[in-house]
Amino acid sequence: MSKYTVYTVARDVLGRYADQLEHDAQQSLRAWILLGQTDRYSDQMHLARVIRNAAACKSIYTRREILRNSGIQIIKL
């Protein structure tokens, strides 16, 4: 899975990140199929699921750990 960056671990923002990832993956799916790169779609959907799972946690620490353990970089602005 490629490196992905988030700038906050707020629940609502993580939900929007996941929505955007899913939307972008669905928009790109046809091109990825033509290029034989359907694994990219799978990776993006997996990443969206990880972000949604993190957003579902109440603890900020747990959200950060889930994201870090999945290879998602967290940058504070």
Residue 73 near residue 4, CB atoms below 8 Å = yes
For the chain, the domains span 4-74
Provide, for the chain, the percentages of residues in helix, strand and coil under a 3-state DSSP scheme, each rounded to the nearest 5: 70, 10, 20
Residue 74 pLDDT exceeds 90: no
Residues above pLDDT 90, as percent of the chain:
75
Number of Cβ atoms within 10 Å of the Cβ of 61: 9
Task: Give me the phi and psi of 15, to 5 degrees please.
Answer: -60, -40
Q: What is the pTM of this model?
A: 0.84
Residue 9 near residue 60, CB atoms below 8 Å = yes
| N- to C-terminal Cα separation, the chain | 24
Looking at residue 51, its pLDDT comes to: 94
